[in-house]
Structure 1
Amino acid sequence: MFFSSLVSPQWLREHLDDPDLVIADCRFDLADPEAGRRVYEAGHIPGAVYLDLERDLSGPVQEHGGRHPLPDEETLAETMGRAGIDERKKVVAYDDQGEAMAARLWWLLRYMGHDRVAILDGGFSGWVHHGYPVSQEGVTPKLTRFVPRVQSEMKVDMDEVKRHSGLLVDAREPDRYQGIREPIDQKAGHIPGAVNRFWKENLAEGQHWKSPAELKKEWDFLREEEQPILYCGSGVTACANLFALHLAGVKGGRLYPGSWSDWISYPENPIETGERSAAALRPK
Protein backbone atom coordinates (compact mmCIF):
# COMPACT_ATOMS: atom_id res chain seq x y z
CA MET A 1 0.00 0.00 0.00
CA PHE A 2 1.14 3.57 -0.68
CA PHE A 3 2.61 5.19 2.41
CA SER A 4 3.95 8.69 2.99
CA SER A 5 5.11 10.62 6.06
CA LEU A 6 1.79 12.45 6.36
CA VAL A 7 -1.50 10.61 5.85
CA SER A 8 -5.05 11.90 5.71
CA PRO A 9 -7.98 10.63 7.79
CA GLN A 10 -9.47 9.33 4.54
CA TRP A 11 -6.36 7.27 3.81
CA LEU A 12 -6.30 5.85 7.33
CA ARG A 13 -9.99 4.94 7.18
CA GLU A 14 -9.39 3.00 3.97
CA HIS A 15 -6.44 1.12 5.50
CA LEU A 16 -7.79 0.66 9.01
CA ASP A 17 -7.83 -3.13 8.75
CA ASP A 18 -4.46 -3.60 7.08
CA PRO A 19 -2.59 -6.25 9.09
CA ASP A 20 0.80 -4.59 8.64
CA LEU A 21 -0.36 -1.24 10.05
CA VAL A 22 0.02 -0.11 13.68
CA ILE A 23 -1.87 2.99 14.82
CA ALA A 24 -0.41 4.80 17.84
CA ASP A 25 -2.43 7.19 19.99
CA CYS A 26 0.04 9.68 21.53
CA ARG A 27 -2.35 12.14 23.15
CA PHE A 28 -0.82 13.76 26.22
CA ASP A 29 -1.32 16.86 28.34
CA LEU A 30 1.78 18.28 30.06
CA ALA A 31 -0.43 19.93 32.67
CA ASP A 32 -2.28 16.67 33.41
CA PRO A 33 -0.13 13.62 32.63
CA GLU A 34 -3.02 11.16 33.12
CA ALA A 35 -5.34 12.98 30.71
CA GLY A 36 -3.98 11.20 27.62
CA ARG A 37 -4.82 7.77 28.96
CA ARG A 38 -8.28 8.97 30.04
CA VAL A 39 -9.22 10.36 26.64
CA TYR A 40 -7.83 7.24 24.97
CA GLU A 41 -10.09 5.06 27.09
CA ALA A 42 -13.03 7.37 26.40
CA GLY A 43 -12.56 6.93 22.67
CA HIS A 44 -9.76 6.25 20.18
CA ILE A 45 -9.29 5.29 16.56
CA PRO A 46 -10.21 1.60 16.30
CA GLY A 47 -7.21 -0.66 16.86
CA ALA A 48 -4.94 2.11 18.12
CA VAL A 49 -2.46 1.36 20.91
CA TYR A 50 -1.70 4.02 23.47
CA LEU A 51 1.87 5.28 23.92
CA ASP A 52 2.42 7.64 26.84
CA LEU A 53 4.91 10.48 26.38
CA GLU A 54 6.44 10.08 29.83
CA ARG A 55 6.07 6.33 30.44
CA ASP A 56 6.79 5.04 26.93
CA LEU A 57 8.49 7.76 24.89
CA SER A 58 10.81 9.17 27.57
CA GLY A 59 13.34 7.82 30.02
CA PRO A 60 13.64 8.46 33.77
CA VAL A 61 14.25 12.09 34.74
CA GLN A 62 17.62 12.66 36.38
CA GLU A 63 19.79 15.62 37.34
CA HIS A 64 20.73 16.19 33.69
CA GLY A 65 19.08 15.17 30.44
CA GLY A 66 15.99 17.34 30.60
CA ARG A 67 12.34 16.82 31.51
CA HIS A 68 11.76 14.18 28.81
CA PRO A 69 15.09 12.42 28.28
CA LEU A 70 15.31 9.82 25.57
CA PRO A 71 14.72 6.25 26.76
CA ASP A 72 17.71 3.97 26.34
CA GLU A 73 17.61 2.06 23.06
CA GLU A 74 16.99 -1.37 24.60
CA THR A 75 14.05 -0.14 26.67
CA LEU A 76 12.56 1.73 23.71
CA ALA A 77 12.92 -1.36 21.49
CA GLU A 78 11.03 -3.40 24.08
CA THR A 79 8.30 -0.75 24.23
CA MET A 80 7.91 -0.79 20.46
CA GLY A 81 7.81 -4.59 20.43
CA ARG A 82 5.04 -4.60 23.05
CA ALA A 83 3.14 -2.13 20.87
CA GLY A 84 3.29 -4.60 17.99
CA ILE A 85 5.87 -2.65 15.99
CA ASP A 86 8.68 -4.38 14.12
CA GLU A 87 10.49 -3.83 10.81
CA ARG A 88 7.53 -5.15 8.80
CA LYS A 89 5.00 -2.75 10.26
CA LYS A 90 3.94 0.66 9.07
CA VAL A 91 3.06 3.07 11.87
CA VAL A 92 0.62 6.00 11.90
CA ALA A 93 0.88 8.25 14.97
CA TYR A 94 -1.68 10.80 16.09
CA ASP A 95 -2.48 13.07 19.02
CA ASP A 96 -4.74 16.06 19.56
CA GLN A 97 -2.05 18.59 20.48
CA GLY A 98 -1.02 19.75 17.03
CA GLU A 99 0.88 16.49 16.36
CA ALA A 100 3.83 17.42 18.59
CA MET A 101 3.53 14.20 20.61
CA ALA A 102 3.01 12.20 17.43
CA ALA A 103 6.12 13.87 16.01
CA ARG A 104 8.07 12.64 19.04
CA LEU A 105 7.17 9.04 18.14
CA TRP A 106 7.88 9.75 14.46
CA TRP A 107 11.37 10.98 15.36
CA LEU A 108 12.08 8.20 17.85
CA LEU A 109 11.21 5.49 15.36
CA ARG A 110 13.39 7.05 12.68
CA TYR A 111 16.18 7.44 15.21
CA MET A 112 15.84 3.72 15.89
CA GLY A 113 16.13 2.99 12.17
CA HIS A 114 12.43 2.52 11.39
CA ASP A 115 11.35 5.04 8.75
CA ARG A 116 7.98 3.51 7.80
CA VAL A 117 6.19 5.92 10.12
CA ALA A 118 3.70 8.69 9.40
CA ILE A 119 1.65 11.30 11.22
CA LEU A 120 -2.13 11.60 10.85
CA ASP A 121 -2.88 15.05 9.45
CA GLY A 122 -5.40 16.84 11.64
CA GLY A 123 -4.97 14.44 14.55
CA PHE A 124 -7.80 12.81 16.44
CA SER A 125 -10.09 15.83 16.02
CA GLY A 126 -9.67 15.61 12.26
CA TRP A 127 -10.65 11.94 12.38
CA VAL A 128 -13.77 12.71 14.41
CA HIS A 129 -14.61 15.67 12.17
CA HIS A 130 -14.97 13.28 9.25
CA GLY A 131 -17.42 11.17 11.23
CA TYR A 132 -15.14 8.15 11.25
CA PRO A 133 -15.56 5.45 13.90
CA VAL A 134 -14.28 5.75 17.44
CA SER A 135 -13.76 2.80 19.76
CA GLN A 136 -13.60 2.29 23.51
CA GLU A 137 -12.40 -1.30 23.20
CA GLY A 138 -9.10 -2.23 24.76
CA VAL A 139 -6.32 -3.21 22.39
CA THR A 140 -3.85 -6.03 23.05
CA PRO A 141 -1.10 -5.85 20.43
CA LYS A 142 0.61 -9.00 19.27
CA LEU A 143 4.00 -9.06 20.96
CA THR A 144 6.88 -8.85 18.49
CA ARG A 145 10.59 -8.07 18.43
CA PHE A 146 11.77 -4.64 17.41
CA VAL A 147 15.39 -4.67 16.27
CA PRO A 148 16.92 -1.18 16.55
CA ARG A 149 19.31 0.25 13.98
CA VAL A 150 20.23 3.41 15.85
CA GLN A 151 20.93 6.50 13.74
CA SER A 152 23.18 8.26 16.24
CA GLU A 153 23.91 11.16 13.89
CA MET A 154 20.33 12.39 14.32
CA LYS A 155 20.94 13.76 17.82
CA VAL A 156 23.51 15.83 19.67
CA ASP A 157 24.40 16.27 23.33
CA MET A 158 25.06 19.45 25.27
CA ASP A 159 28.79 19.45 24.58
CA GLU A 160 28.15 19.34 20.85
CA VAL A 161 25.69 22.23 21.19
CA LYS A 162 28.47 24.23 22.84
CA ARG A 163 30.87 23.42 19.99
CA HIS A 164 28.30 24.06 17.25
CA SER A 165 29.14 27.05 15.07
CA GLY A 166 25.99 26.81 12.94
CA LEU A 167 22.38 27.65 13.58
CA LEU A 168 20.37 26.71 16.66
CA VAL A 169 16.57 26.78 16.29
CA ASP A 170 14.34 27.08 19.37
CA ALA A 171 10.80 25.70 18.89
CA ARG A 172 9.16 27.26 21.95
CA GLU A 173 6.61 30.05 22.11
CA PRO A 174 8.21 33.45 21.43
CA ASP A 175 7.67 34.80 24.95
CA ARG A 176 9.36 31.74 26.49
CA TYR A 177 12.21 31.97 24.00
CA GLN A 178 12.63 35.67 24.74
CA GLY A 179 12.65 35.08 28.50
CA ILE A 180 9.49 37.13 29.11
CA ARG A 181 7.86 34.26 30.97
CA GLU A 182 8.73 30.67 31.85
CA PRO A 183 5.83 28.59 33.21
CA ILE A 184 7.62 25.23 33.19
CA ASP A 185 11.39 25.44 33.65
CA GLN A 186 13.38 27.09 36.42
CA LYS A 187 15.15 29.63 34.24
CA ALA A 188 13.91 31.80 31.39
CA GLY A 189 15.60 32.65 28.12
CA HIS A 190 17.31 30.69 25.38
CA ILE A 191 20.63 29.17 24.37
CA PRO A 192 22.90 32.00 23.14
CA GLY A 193 22.77 32.47 19.39
CA ALA A 194 19.54 30.53 18.87
CA VAL A 195 16.78 31.83 16.61
CA ASN A 196 13.10 31.26 17.26
CA ARG A 197 10.76 29.24 15.04
CA PHE A 198 7.64 28.43 17.06
CA TRP A 199 6.59 24.90 16.15
CA LYS A 200 2.93 25.79 15.69
CA GLU A 201 3.89 28.04 12.78
CA ASN A 202 4.14 24.83 10.77
CA LEU A 203 0.41 24.26 11.09
CA ALA A 204 -2.54 25.66 9.19
CA GLU A 205 -6.11 25.80 10.49
CA GLY A 206 -7.47 22.62 12.06
CA GLN A 207 -4.09 21.18 13.09
CA HIS A 208 -3.29 20.48 9.44
CA TRP A 209 0.31 20.74 8.30
CA LYS A 210 1.15 23.41 5.77
CA SER A 211 2.08 22.23 2.30
CA PRO A 212 5.66 21.19 1.56
CA ALA A 213 6.03 24.28 -0.66
CA GLU A 214 4.87 26.61 2.12
CA LEU A 215 7.15 24.98 4.64
CA LYS A 216 10.13 25.08 2.30
CA LYS A 217 9.59 28.80 1.79
CA GLU A 218 9.16 29.50 5.49
CA TRP A 219 12.30 27.53 6.38
CA ASP A 220 14.41 29.17 3.67
CA PHE A 221 16.42 30.97 6.37
CA LEU A 222 18.41 27.73 6.61
CA ARG A 223 21.44 27.71 4.34
CA GLU A 224 22.30 24.61 2.36
CA GLU A 225 24.38 22.14 4.34
CA GLU A 226 23.51 24.09 7.50
CA GLN A 227 22.84 20.99 9.65
CA PRO A 228 21.01 23.07 12.28
CA ILE A 229 20.46 21.87 15.82
CA LEU A 230 16.83 22.01 16.90
CA TYR A 231 15.63 22.17 20.47
CA CYS A 232 12.65 23.20 22.60
CA GLY A 233 11.88 22.86 26.30
CA SER A 234 12.41 19.11 26.63
CA GLY A 235 12.96 17.62 23.17
CA VAL A 236 9.29 17.10 22.21
CA THR A 237 8.00 20.04 20.18
CA ALA A 238 11.38 20.37 18.44
CA CYS A 239 10.39 17.09 16.76
CA ALA A 240 7.48 18.96 15.14
CA ASN A 241 10.01 21.36 13.59
CA LEU A 242 12.07 18.39 12.43
CA PHE A 243 8.95 16.87 10.88
CA ALA A 244 8.25 20.16 9.10
CA LEU A 245 11.78 20.13 7.68
CA HIS A 246 11.20 16.57 6.53
CA LEU A 247 7.98 17.54 4.75
CA ALA A 248 9.79 20.47 3.14
CA GLY A 249 12.55 18.18 1.90
CA VAL A 250 15.19 19.93 3.99
CA LYS A 251 17.79 17.50 5.31
CA GLY A 252 20.41 17.70 8.03
CA GLY A 253 18.44 18.89 11.06
CA ARG A 254 19.51 17.30 14.34
CA LEU A 255 17.78 17.13 17.71
CA TYR A 256 19.18 18.22 21.06
CA PRO A 257 16.99 15.85 23.11
CA GLY A 258 17.62 17.40 26.52
CA SER A 259 16.89 20.85 25.10
CA TRP A 260 16.43 23.90 27.33
CA SER A 261 15.65 21.91 30.47
CA ASP A 262 18.97 20.09 30.11
CA TRP A 263 20.92 23.23 29.20
CA ILE A 264 19.86 25.06 32.36
CA SER A 265 20.63 22.06 34.58
CA TYR A 266 24.28 23.12 34.25
CA PRO A 267 24.66 26.37 36.27
CA GLU A 268 27.68 27.46 34.24
CA ASN A 269 25.84 27.50 30.92
CA PRO A 270 25.13 31.01 29.61
CA ILE A 271 21.61 32.27 28.95
CA GLU A 272 20.42 34.83 26.46
CA THR A 273 17.16 36.78 26.37
CA GLY A 274 15.49 38.98 23.80
CA GLU A 275 14.23 38.44 20.27
CA ARG A 276 15.98 36.94 17.27
CA SER A 277 13.36 35.63 14.90
CA ALA A 278 14.22 33.10 12.22
CA ALA A 279 12.24 35.24 9.77
CA ALA A 280 14.91 37.93 9.98
CA LEU A 281 17.41 35.50 8.46
CA ARG A 282 15.38 34.87 5.31
CA PRO A 283 16.92 35.97 2.03
CA LYS A 284 15.74 39.40 0.90
Structure 2
Amino acid sequence: MAKVFIELQEILEYNPRFIDTRFDLTDNTAGRKSYNEEHLEGAIYWDLEEDLSDMTSQNGRHPMISKEKMTCLVQKSGLNVDDFIVIYDQGAAPFALRAYFLLDWAGFTNVYVSRAGFGDLKRALPVSKSEPVYTKTTTIPNWTNRKLLTMDEVRQVVAGITEGQLIDARSNVRFKGESEPIDSIAGHIPTAINFDWELLKKDGKFLEQEELKGKLADLAPKDKPVIAYCGSGVTAAPLYSCLKEAGYENVQLYVGSYSDWIRENEVETE
Protein backbone atom coordinates (compact mmCIF):
# COMPACT_ATOMS: atom_id res chain seq x y z
CA MET A 1 0.00 0.00 0.00
CA ALA A 2 1.44 3.34 -1.04
CA LYS A 3 2.37 5.90 1.60
CA VAL A 4 1.75 9.45 0.43
CA PHE A 5 1.35 11.48 3.62
CA ILE A 6 3.94 11.94 6.32
CA GLU A 7 3.36 13.09 9.91
CA LEU A 8 5.29 15.86 11.63
CA GLN A 9 6.93 13.41 14.05
CA GLU A 10 8.27 11.39 11.13
CA ILE A 11 9.61 14.52 9.44
CA LEU A 12 11.55 15.38 12.60
CA GLU A 13 13.39 12.06 12.31
CA TYR A 14 14.83 12.92 8.90
CA ASN A 15 16.64 15.77 7.21
CA PRO A 16 14.48 16.05 4.07
CA ARG A 17 14.55 18.39 1.12
CA PHE A 18 11.49 20.62 1.51
CA ILE A 19 9.34 21.99 -1.32
CA ASP A 20 6.93 24.81 -0.45
CA THR A 21 3.89 24.89 -2.75
CA ARG A 22 1.56 27.34 -1.00
CA PHE A 23 -0.82 28.99 -3.45
CA ASP A 24 -4.14 30.81 -3.67
CA LEU A 25 -6.35 30.24 -6.71
CA THR A 26 -7.92 33.67 -6.19
CA ASP A 27 -4.54 35.47 -5.97
CA ASN A 28 -1.75 33.82 -7.90
CA THR A 29 0.91 36.00 -6.24
CA ALA A 30 -0.03 35.11 -2.66
CA GLY A 31 1.96 31.89 -2.44
CA ARG A 32 5.24 33.42 -3.51
CA LYS A 33 4.67 36.36 -1.16
CA SER A 34 4.05 33.99 1.75
CA TYR A 35 7.21 32.07 0.88
CA ASN A 36 9.26 35.26 0.74
CA GLU A 37 7.97 36.28 4.19
CA GLU A 38 8.93 32.96 5.74
CA HIS A 39 9.31 29.31 4.83
CA LEU A 40 10.87 26.20 6.28
CA GLU A 41 14.62 26.52 6.31
CA GLY A 42 16.06 25.02 3.14
CA ALA A 43 12.74 24.89 1.31
CA ILE A 44 12.51 25.78 -2.36
CA TYR A 45 9.33 27.21 -3.85
CA TRP A 46 7.30 25.66 -6.66
CA ASP A 47 4.48 27.80 -8.01
CA LEU A 48 1.31 26.10 -9.27
CA GLU A 49 1.11 28.20 -12.42
CA GLU A 50 4.76 29.07 -13.06
CA ASP A 51 6.25 25.64 -12.33
CA LEU A 52 3.56 22.96 -12.03
CA SER A 53 1.35 23.89 -15.01
CA ASP A 54 1.82 24.92 -18.62
CA MET A 55 -0.34 28.03 -18.74
CA THR A 56 0.52 28.54 -22.42
CA SER A 57 -1.39 25.38 -23.36
CA GLN A 58 -5.08 25.30 -24.27
CA ASN A 59 -5.58 21.84 -22.73
CA GLY A 60 -7.57 22.92 -19.66
CA ARG A 61 -7.13 25.63 -17.04
CA HIS A 62 -4.00 24.18 -15.39
CA PRO A 63 -2.54 22.05 -18.18
CA MET A 64 0.08 19.36 -17.76
CA ILE A 65 3.70 20.40 -18.13
CA SER A 66 6.02 18.71 -20.61
CA LYS A 67 8.69 16.18 -19.73
CA GLU A 68 11.26 18.77 -20.76
CA LYS A 69 9.88 21.37 -18.34
CA MET A 70 9.65 18.84 -15.50
CA THR A 71 13.22 17.73 -16.13
CA CYS A 72 14.42 21.35 -16.02
CA LEU A 73 12.46 21.94 -12.82
CA VAL A 74 14.00 19.04 -10.90
CA GLN A 75 17.48 19.80 -12.22
CA LYS A 76 17.44 23.51 -11.34
CA SER A 77 16.00 22.58 -7.93
CA GLY A 78 19.03 20.38 -7.27
CA LEU A 79 16.97 17.21 -6.84
CA ASN A 80 18.02 13.61 -7.32
CA VAL A 81 15.54 10.77 -7.94
CA ASP A 82 16.37 9.08 -4.63
CA ASP A 83 16.25 12.24 -2.45
CA PHE A 84 13.99 12.16 0.60
CA ILE A 85 11.53 14.95 -0.23
CA VAL A 86 8.70 16.45 1.82
CA ILE A 87 6.24 18.79 0.11
CA TYR A 88 4.00 21.15 2.05
CA ASP A 89 1.42 23.87 1.46
CA GLN A 90 -0.98 25.73 3.74
CA GLY A 91 -2.60 22.44 4.74
CA ALA A 92 -5.52 20.39 3.35
CA ALA A 93 -4.96 22.07 -0.01
CA PRO A 94 -4.35 20.47 -3.42
CA PHE A 95 -1.09 22.22 -4.31
CA ALA A 96 1.43 19.97 -2.54
CA LEU A 97 -0.36 16.99 -4.00
CA ARG A 98 -0.10 18.42 -7.52
CA ALA A 99 3.67 18.55 -7.00
CA TYR A 100 3.57 15.04 -5.53
CA PHE A 101 1.83 13.73 -8.65
CA LEU A 102 4.43 15.30 -10.93
CA LEU A 103 7.31 13.83 -8.95
CA ASP A 104 5.52 10.48 -8.82
CA TRP A 105 5.14 10.65 -12.61
CA ALA A 106 8.84 11.50 -12.86
CA GLY A 107 9.78 8.35 -10.94
CA PHE A 108 10.84 9.87 -7.61
CA THR A 109 10.35 7.17 -4.98
CA ASN A 110 10.95 8.93 -1.64
CA VAL A 111 8.44 11.77 -1.94
CA TYR A 112 5.86 12.55 0.74
CA VAL A 113 3.31 15.25 1.48
CA SER A 114 3.17 16.70 4.98
CA ARG A 115 -0.24 16.11 6.51
CA ALA A 116 0.43 19.22 8.59
CA GLY A 117 0.32 22.59 6.87
CA PHE A 118 2.93 25.31 7.14
CA GLY A 119 1.30 26.85 10.22
CA ASP A 120 1.87 23.66 12.23
CA LEU A 121 5.23 22.86 10.67
CA LYS A 122 6.79 26.21 11.54
CA ARG A 123 6.06 25.67 15.23
CA ALA A 124 8.33 22.63 15.18
CA LEU A 125 10.91 23.40 12.50
CA PRO A 126 13.20 26.37 11.81
CA VAL A 127 12.05 28.96 9.30
CA SER A 128 13.91 31.42 7.09
CA LYS A 129 13.38 34.34 4.73
CA SER A 130 16.36 33.37 2.58
CA GLU A 131 15.84 31.41 -0.61
CA PRO A 132 18.39 28.57 -0.66
CA VAL A 133 20.64 27.90 -3.63
CA TYR A 134 21.26 24.29 -4.59
CA THR A 135 23.72 22.96 -7.11
CA LYS A 136 22.00 22.09 -10.36
CA THR A 137 21.81 18.35 -10.98
CA THR A 138 21.78 16.30 -14.17
CA THR A 139 18.88 14.14 -12.99
CA ILE A 140 16.96 12.33 -15.72
CA PRO A 141 13.48 11.31 -14.51
CA ASN A 142 12.35 7.70 -14.74
CA TRP A 143 8.95 8.42 -16.29
CA THR A 144 5.93 6.37 -15.26
CA ASN A 145 3.73 7.27 -18.21
CA ARG A 146 0.84 5.00 -17.24
CA LYS A 147 -0.02 7.40 -14.38
CA LEU A 148 -0.97 10.18 -16.82
CA LEU A 149 -3.91 10.02 -19.23
CA THR A 150 -4.55 12.19 -22.27
CA MET A 151 -7.93 13.16 -23.69
CA ASP A 152 -7.66 10.43 -26.32
CA GLU A 153 -6.94 7.80 -23.67
CA VAL A 154 -9.94 8.98 -21.62
CA ARG A 155 -12.09 8.66 -24.75
CA GLN A 156 -11.01 5.00 -24.93
CA VAL A 157 -12.16 4.50 -21.33
CA VAL A 158 -15.50 6.23 -21.97
CA ALA A 159 -16.05 4.04 -25.04
CA GLY A 160 -15.33 0.89 -23.06
CA ILE A 161 -12.31 0.03 -25.20
CA THR A 162 -9.89 0.49 -22.32
CA GLU A 163 -10.65 -0.65 -18.76
CA GLY A 164 -10.96 2.01 -16.08
CA GLN A 165 -13.28 3.91 -13.79
CA LEU A 166 -13.34 7.71 -14.07
CA ILE A 167 -13.86 9.49 -10.74
CA ASP A 168 -14.82 13.17 -10.70
CA ALA A 169 -13.39 15.06 -7.70
CA ARG A 170 -15.65 18.11 -7.99
CA SER A 171 -18.71 18.88 -5.87
CA ASN A 172 -21.83 16.85 -6.55
CA VAL A 173 -23.79 19.87 -7.84
CA ARG A 174 -21.13 20.52 -10.46
CA PHE A 175 -20.94 16.84 -11.33
CA LYS A 176 -24.70 16.73 -11.89
CA GLY A 177 -24.65 19.95 -13.90
CA GLU A 178 -26.92 21.73 -11.41
CA SER A 179 -24.37 24.51 -10.95
CA GLU A 180 -21.29 25.45 -12.96
CA PRO A 181 -19.52 28.60 -11.74
CA ILE A 182 -16.38 28.20 -13.85
CA ASP A 183 -16.71 26.15 -17.04
CA SER A 184 -18.86 27.07 -20.03
CA ILE A 185 -20.68 23.71 -20.10
CA ALA A 186 -22.19 21.99 -17.06
CA GLY A 187 -22.04 18.26 -16.43
CA HIS A 188 -19.42 15.51 -16.25
CA ILE A 189 -17.46 13.10 -18.43
CA PRO A 190 -19.67 10.15 -19.44
CA THR A 191 -19.30 6.95 -17.34
CA ALA A 192 -17.73 8.89 -14.44
CA ILE A 193 -18.77 8.55 -10.81
CA ASN A 194 -18.42 11.34 -8.27
CA PHE A 195 -16.41 11.74 -5.06
CA ASP A 196 -16.01 15.29 -3.75
CA TRP A 197 -12.37 15.83 -2.78
CA GLU A 198 -13.47 18.01 0.14
CA LEU A 199 -14.61 14.80 1.87
CA LEU A 200 -10.98 13.67 2.04
CA LYS A 201 -10.10 16.16 4.78
CA LYS A 202 -11.20 17.54 8.12
CA ASP A 203 -9.81 19.97 10.68
CA GLY A 204 -7.29 21.37 8.22
CA LYS A 205 -5.67 18.02 7.38
CA PHE A 206 -6.21 15.14 5.01
CA LEU A 207 -7.67 12.05 6.63
CA GLU A 208 -5.41 9.33 7.99
CA GLN A 209 -4.93 6.14 6.02
CA GLU A 210 -7.53 4.01 7.81
CA GLU A 211 -10.17 6.72 7.43
CA LEU A 212 -9.35 7.07 3.74
CA LYS A 213 -9.64 3.31 3.27
CA GLY A 214 -13.08 3.43 4.84
CA LYS A 215 -14.33 6.31 2.71
CA LEU A 216 -12.88 5.13 -0.59
CA ALA A 217 -13.13 1.35 -0.23
CA ASP A 218 -16.24 0.80 -2.32
CA LEU A 219 -15.71 3.28 -5.15
CA ALA A 220 -14.27 0.73 -7.55
CA PRO A 221 -12.41 -2.62 -7.56
CA LYS A 222 -8.93 -2.00 -6.14
CA ASP A 223 -7.16 -4.06 -8.79
CA LYS A 224 -8.72 -2.17 -11.72
CA PRO A 225 -7.55 1.23 -13.03
CA VAL A 226 -9.15 4.30 -11.46
CA ILE A 227 -8.76 7.71 -13.10
CA ALA A 228 -9.10 10.92 -11.09
CA TYR A 229 -10.16 14.17 -12.72
CA CYS A 230 -11.70 17.47 -11.63
CA GLY A 231 -12.27 20.85 -13.27
CA SER A 232 -8.71 21.86 -14.11
CA GLY A 233 -6.55 18.98 -12.85
CA VAL A 234 -5.62 20.57 -9.52
CA THR A 235 -8.12 19.16 -7.00
CA ALA A 236 -7.94 15.79 -8.75
CA ALA A 237 -4.43 15.46 -7.31
CA PRO A 238 -5.72 14.94 -3.73
CA LEU A 239 -8.13 12.28 -5.00
CA TYR A 240 -5.32 10.60 -6.96
CA SER A 241 -3.08 10.60 -3.88
CA CYS A 242 -5.74 9.50 -1.41
CA LEU A 243 -6.79 6.62 -3.67
CA LYS A 244 -3.18 5.45 -3.59
CA GLU A 245 -3.03 5.86 0.19
CA ALA A 246 -6.28 3.87 0.49
CA GLY A 247 -4.82 0.87 -1.30
CA TYR A 248 -5.79 1.28 -4.94
CA GLU A 249 -3.10 -0.37 -7.05
CA ASN A 250 -3.53 1.35 -10.41
CA VAL A 251 -4.34 5.06 -10.03
CA GLN A 252 -4.15 7.48 -12.93
CA LEU A 253 -4.80 11.19 -13.41
CA TYR A 254 -6.36 13.08 -16.30
CA VAL A 255 -4.65 16.42 -15.73
CA GLY A 256 -6.56 18.19 -18.52
CA SER A 257 -9.73 17.19 -16.67
CA TYR A 258 -13.22 18.55 -17.37
CA SER A 259 -12.02 21.93 -18.70
CA ASP A 260 -10.02 20.06 -21.35
CA TRP A 261 -12.70 17.44 -22.08
CA ILE A 262 -15.44 19.93 -22.93
CA ARG A 263 -13.36 21.50 -25.71
CA GLU A 264 -14.12 18.54 -28.01
CA ASN A 265 -16.47 16.08 -26.33
CA GLU A 266 -20.02 15.52 -25.17
CA VAL A 267 -20.92 15.48 -21.47
CA GLU A 268 -23.57 13.93 -19.25
CA THR A 269 -25.72 15.39 -16.50
CA GLU A 270 -27.73 13.76 -13.73
Query: TM over 0.5, yes or no?
Result: yes
2:231 to 228, 233, 244: 233
C-alpha deviations, 1:137-175, integer Å up to 9, x for none? Answer: 222222112211111111111122122134210011222
How far is 1:228 from its partner?
1.7
Match of 2:129 in 1: 136
2:53 to 58, 65, 68: 58
State the SS of the aligned residue for 1:93. Answer: strand
- Cα separation, 2, equivalents of 1:12 and 1:54: 27
Match of 2:104 in 1: 110
State the SS of the aligned residue for 2:18. Answer: strand
Q: Judging changes above 3 Å, is the alpha-carbon distance between structure 1 residues 14 and 212 closer, same or farther for their aligned structure 2 residues?
A: closer
Amino acid of the residue matched to residue 163 of structure 1?
Answer: Q
- Cα separation, 1, equivalents of 2:61 and 2:9: 35
Amino acid of the residue matched to residue 149 of structure 2?
Answer: V
- Cα separation, 1, equivalents of 2:184 and 2:120: 35
- Cα separation, 1, equivalents of 2:82 and 2:73: 16
- Cα separation, 1, equivalents of 2:62 and 2:22: 15
Q: Which runs of 5+ in 2 are unaligned?
A: none
How far is 1:186 from its partner?
2.2
Equivalent residue runs for 1:42-53 within 5 Å: 42-53=37-48
C-alpha deviations, 1:217-267, integer Å up to 9, x for none? Answer: 21122114321221011212111111111211211121111001100112x
Q: What percentage of aligned pairs have identical amino acids?
A: 36
1:206 to 204, 207, 212: 204
Match of 1:10 in 2: 9
State the SS of the aligned residue for 1:11. Answer: helix
Question: Is residue 170–residue 230 contact of structure 1 (8 Å, CA) maintained in 2?
Answer: yes
Match of 2:269 in 1: 273
Stretches of 4+ moved more than 3 A in 1?
130-133
- 2:176 is the alignment partner of 1:178: yes
- Cα separation, 2, equivalents of 1:46 and 1:82: 18
Match of 1:38 in 2: 33
Question: Is residue 82–residue 108 contact of structure 2 (8 Å, CA) maintained in 1?
Answer: no
State the SS of the aligned residue for 2:128. Answer: coil
Greater shift after overlay, 54-63 or 100-109? 54-63
- Cα separation, 2, equivalents of 1:184 and 1:30: 12
Q: Judging changes above 3 Å, is the alpha-carbon distance between structure 1 residues 176 and 141 closer, same or farther for their aligned structure 2 residues?
A: farther
RMSD of aligned residue pairs (Cα, Å): 1.9
Question: Is residue 22–residue 84 contact of structure 1 (8 Å, CA) maintained in 2?
Answer: no
1:29 to 24, 27, 46: 24
How far is 1:58 from its partner?
1.2
Amino acid of the residue matched to residue 105 of structure 2?
Answer: Y
2:84 to 90, 93, 102: 90
- Cα separation, 1, equivalents of 2:253 and 2:231: 12
Match of 1:156 in 2: 149
How far is 1:97 from its partner?
5.0
Question: Is residue 91–residue 118 contact of structure 2 (8 Å, CA) maintained in 1?
Answer: no
Q: Judging changes above 3 Å, is the alpha-carbon distance between structure 1 residues 213 and 14 closer, same or farther for their aligned structure 2 residues?
A: closer
Give TM-score, length-normalised by structure 2: 0.90
Give TM-score, length-normalised by structure 1: 0.86
2:95 to 75, 80, 101: 101
State the SS of the aligned residue for 1:192. Answer: coil
Number of corresponding residues: 263
Match of 1:282 in 2: none
Amino acid of the residue matched to residue 154 of structure 1?
Answer: K
Match of 1:277 in 2: none
- Cα separation, 1, equivalents of 2:247 and 2:54: 30
